[in-house]
Structure 1
Amino acid sequence: MSQSVIPAPSAEVKGVAERSAPGAGERIARALEKSWRPFALLLACFGAWWVVAAAELVEAYLVPSPGATLDVLLEKTDYVWHHTWVTTYETLLGFVIAVAVGVFAAVVMVYSQTVEKTLYPILLFAQVVPKIAIAPLFVVWLGFGIAPKILIAVLIAFFPVVISMVTGLKAVDPEMLQLSATMGAGPWQTFVKIRFPASLPHLFAGLKVAVTLAVTGAVVGEFVGANEGLGYVILQANGNLDTPMLFAGLLVMSLIGVVLFVLVEVAEKLLLPWHASRRGTDVTTTF
């Protein structure tokens, strides 16, 4: 009995159009199309901020003007840069440790149900405990150095990494695993060639969340006990009613999170060009 072969969709089939690879101009146009709305919203927010400050709807010591905030950043560039670097360093180190430990824990949990049943409730319990509540304990144990800040950043960023990695490793098509076993691949080969690559989209989704949470963790640690970092800057500005510096610290802290998120997004685009969300040439339906 002959088997019928279903032809691949082509541009000649009604309702289907083949999309060619986008050129440089088209890619720039797409980037602008995606980015103009967020920029417009940011401009609107800054415009509303300027209007509130200029009309003196709120006292200046409560909400400084954008100009006053920018003046503080320009006048104390070295001061702000030093504390920004401290927070960035704590964030990156905590994020890297959280990724390494989280990926390892996820792999162990997926390959051992005993470990998963034992470790998962503990991870859930550790996640629901407010980090701001246990941060003073870390300061008592580890002192006022950099270690408590990194530890808090690790604890906050760890959960999204391990959960997304476990989900990705379990989301592999069972038929691919059966095919791998049929072809004689061992557990390590199956992991390297099938499980790990298939889990990367889920992992990167978790990394985007984790890298922004790591900034929060580092700043929380600085709130509790520190003599440098953006958390320290914000606390000092709050105590001195220096709202321009307080707003400047908040803006820089937000900028760190945005930049790190974009870097993870770029890494995902470079490492996962094969993923469906990254394909540039697809057959797309037109109805």
Structure 2
Amino acid sequence: MKKYTSSIIVGISFFLIWEAIARKIDAAYILPSPSKILQRTWELRDPLFTVHLPATLWVTFLGLVISLIFGVFLAILMSLNGKIQNAIYPLVVITQTVPITALAPIFVLWFGYSIWSKVLATILMTFFPITINVYDGLRSTKREMEELLITYGATKKDIFIKLKLPSALPYFFSALKISVPLSVIGAAISEWLGAQSGLGYFSKRMMTQLDGAGVFAPIVILSLIAVIFVFIIDILENKLIKWRNEV
């Protein structure tokens, strides 16, 4: 807990300054204060937490799981075969050159307001860091270590499982920490551009009503979701990769 003390102090200071500025401006539809946002969140708790939050979480979960499977698979393929790497790597980079705000409406045209238009947008935002980080992790092993294992009679399968996979684990968790907030953002953006439920959709609806605190309420929830998920991943990383902490 001590290592988060500085972050807590900075966070409290930020919200206190925000509260003071918002009260000075006194224009809640432009910049609502944190206290008004919390009050509005409580007032809107029923639709937020029973309808829109589950919808966003489901999109986030599906998009992240598919990205993990797809991204890890591509990373392994590229690490095993140089020709595949040369063919796939540029395509993976190209997918990140088109803004998701331009693609999300197209996905709505293809899939309508179903969950898959939003899941696809989430996948496009998250699979890139997973693919690249895991690929770099698999390539991070030293050639000397591979040659040593070969002299002990290790096969390519042994080298991959006993050397490359453990070396890639820290990179995998780093990719997760990047992808989780991106998955939440991707879900929210896709809901904003075309959906019938979700926190992004709810925020857009509040904006049309000039309800500043109502617009910020889903954003606060999205931020908390991302922070909680990254915190859980950090705990899992410390539990599963004890050897890195001992080095």
TM tier, smaller: over 0.9
Residue ranges of structure 1 left out of the alignment (5+ in a row): 1-30, 283-287
Distance 1:222 1:131 in 2: 12
Distance 1:60 1:125 in 2: 41
One-letter amino acid of the structure 1 residue matched with residue 29 of structure 2? Y
**Equivalent residue number for residue 47 of structure 2:** 79
Q: After superposition, give the CA deviation of every residue in 1:134-188 in whole Å (9 maximum; x if it has no partner).
A: 1111111111011111111111100101111111111101111112222222222
**Equivalent residue number for residue 143 of structure 1:** 112
Q: After superposition, give the CA deviation of every residue in 1:32-62 in whole Å (9 maximum; x if it has no partner).
A: 1x2111111111111112212333x241221
Query: Alpha-carbon deviation of 1:242?
Result: 0.8
TM-score when normalising by structure 1: 0.83
Given candidates 250, 258, 280, the residue that maps to 2:219 is 250
Q: Does 1:61 align with 2:29?
A: yes
Root-mean-square deviation (CA, aligned residues, Å) is 1.3
Identity percentage over the alignment? Answer: 34
One-letter amino acid of the structure 2 residue matched with residue 119 of structure 1? I
One-letter amino acid of the structure 1 residue matched with residue 54 of structure 2? W
One-letter amino acid of the structure 2 residue matched with residue 103 of structure 1? V
Equivalent pair of 2:38/2:217 in contact (CA under 8 Å)? yes
Q: Which has the higher contact order (CA 8 A, sep 6+)?
A: 1
The structure where helix makes up a greater share of residues is 2
**Equivalent residue number for residue 11 of structure 1:** none
Query: Alpha-carbon deviation of 1:68?
Result: 2.0
One-letter amino acid of the structure 1 residue matched with residue 95 of structure 2? A
Task: Give the number of the structure whose alpha-carbon radius of gyration is greater.
Answer: 1
Distance 2:186 2:22 in 1: 31
Given candidates 193, 196, 200, the residue that maps to 1:227 is 196
One-letter amino acid of the structure 1 residue matched with residue 27 of structure 2? E
SS for the counterpart of 1:127 is coil
Q: How many residues align?
A: 246
Q: Does 1:47 align with 2:16?
A: yes
TM-score when normalising by structure 2: 0.95
Q: Does 1:130 align with 2:107?
A: no
Query: Alpha-carbon deviation of 1:67?
Result: 2.6
Distance 2:65 2:9 in 1: 33
SS for the counterpart of 1:209 is helix
Q: After superposition, give the CA deviation of every residue in 1:163-217 in whole Å (9 maximum; x if it has no partner).
A: 1111111110111111222222222221111110111111211111111111111
**Equivalent residue number for residue 153 of structure 1:** 122
Q: After superposition, give the CA deviation of every residue in 1:229-274 in whole Å (9 maximum; x if it has no partner).
A: 1100110011110111111111111111111111111111111011
Equivalent pair of 2:191/2:197 in contact (CA under 8 Å)? yes
Given candidates 199, 215, 228, the residue that maps to 2:184 is 215
**Equivalent residue number for residue 20 of structure 1:** none
Distance 1:142 1:61 in 2: 34
SS for the counterpart of 1:236 is helix
Given candidates 151, 154, 167, the residue that maps to 1:185 is 154
Distance 2:145 2:174 in 1: 23
Which ranges of 4 or more aligned residues in structure 1 deviate by more than 3 Å? none
Distance 1:263 1:153 in 2: 20
